[in-house]
């Protein structure tokens, strides 16, 4: 499986984690933020379902035409919420479900599994590539 990661930043002054990476802290506004890899697993915080094709451009419809998709925020263990596309077999009751990052371009994309993710590890994220 391809190594995926989200690059954020962490403030050396107050510890606030931001995404995308920046040199200034979003909370205390000092220029002490340094790059930091973010977890690739989190929990769906909230979401909505896009049931009609967005305005194009900028939206680029897929070759087979538009299909409804879920989009929302995934909360990472770092305490930050990342906006992205949510892939799931269902659009029901995704809030609180585990989500795994599967792509970062052009926008973050997560696979959501409301019944849990059966990949062996039950821990979310932080033990990634040191």
Catalog residues that contact Zn ion under the rule CB under 5 A: 11, 13-14, 16, 25, 27-28
Nearest to Zn ion of 31, 128 (CB atom): 31
CB of 33 to Zn ion, least distance (A): 7
Tokens of 39: 């977890």
- Rounded to whole angstroms, the Cα distance separating 31 from 47 reads 32
CB of 29 to Zn ion, least distance (A): 7
Nearest to Zn ion of 18, 72 (CB atom): 18
Nearest to Zn ion of 36, 71 (CB atom): 36
Strand order in the sheet with 17-18: 17-18, 6-11, 33-38
CB of 9 to Zn ion, least distance (A): 10
* Cα end-to-end span (Å), the chain: 17
What's the DSSP call for residue 53? P
């Amino acid at each position: 499986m391809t190594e995926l990661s989200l690059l954020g930043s962490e403030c050396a002054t107050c510890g606030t984690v931001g995404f995308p990476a920046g040199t200034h802290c979003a909370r205390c506004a000092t220029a002490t933020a340094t790059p930091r890899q973010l977890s690739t697993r989190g929990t769906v915080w909230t979401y909505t379902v896009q049931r009609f094709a967005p305005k194009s451009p900028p939206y680029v419809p897929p070759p087979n035409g538009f299909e409804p998709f879920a989009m929302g925020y995934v909360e990472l263990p770092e305490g930050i919420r990342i906006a992205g596309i949510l892939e799931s077999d269902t659009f029901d009751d995704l809030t609180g479900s585990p989500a795994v990052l599967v792509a970062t371009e052009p926008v973050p994309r997560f696979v959501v599994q409301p019944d849990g993710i059966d990949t062996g590890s039950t821990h979310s994220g932080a033990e990634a590539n040191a």
